[in-house]
A = this chain, B = another copy of it.
């Protein structure tokens, strides 16, 4: 952990989860946090702002920082948190079958450019995985990773955790992702891998992930059995202009 605000964020979060600060109670006031942690007020406020942003507290003027019901991750959530991290957090029985691995695939380049594409196709590593939850195949993940960013990927990384390899081994800084959720009829591949009937529906999550230097490097299509899909979100209302 790099900075004081993050340290305090993590400490407060842990204490919320351990119910040192239970639901409906107030965190120590900002001035108290200054003394408790030996920090300035603005630093403490950054930690509180993150907790509020993520739905753990609601700050109420004149009163304090109230602990509110935070969304617990429910499986499967798709996005910027790696599958293995989620499974570990939730203590879920999960298995990971690599059913396709092509280190020399191509993808239309426009997906990976933030302005105008200069070439038409981009070399990628293509990985296809089936996620088995509690013995039942529930998700097909198709990942395409730019070879210009990640030249080689060992198959073992695909079998364990791709993000652990990218961040831990290669030191890449994964920063943000855009994702889109739609509902689509199951295709033949879906029905085969997930053992579904004709007429079944899928929740499809398509996402593009970028590094800290804003280079998009990973395109993912994640296809979920409709009856196993649940997505939870927390949102704050923008201040009106």
**Which B residues are CB-close (under 8 A) to A58?**
175-176, 210, 212-214
Main secondary structure of the interface of A (DSSP, over half): mixed
User: Is A241 among interface residues, defined by CB-CB distance under 8 A?
Assistant: yes
Give the A interface residue count (CB, 8 A): 53
Copies in the complex: 2
Which residues 1-60 of A sit at the B interface, judged by CB distance below 8 A? 1-2, 6, 10, 23-24, 42, 53, 55, 58, 60
Closest to A60 in B: B213
The chain B residue with its CB closest to the CB of A70 is: B178
The CA of A182 and the CA of B232, in the complex, are separated in Å by 9
Contact with B along A197-238 (1 / 0, CB 8 A): 001010100000010111000000000001101111111111
A229/B182 in contact, CB under 8 A: yes
Alpha-carbon gap, A159 to B238, bound state (A): 23
Residues of B within 8 A of A233 (CB): 79, 178-181, 233
Assembled-state Cα–Cα distance A58/B209 (Å): 13
Give the nearest-CB partner of A224 in chain B.
B183
Does B183 contact A237, Cβ atoms closer than 8 Å? no
Q: Is A153 an interface residue (CB 8 A)?
A: no
A-B contact pairs, 8 of them (CB 8 A): A6-B239, A53-B53, A68-B210, A80-B236, A80-B237, A179-B235, A181-B230, A233-B233
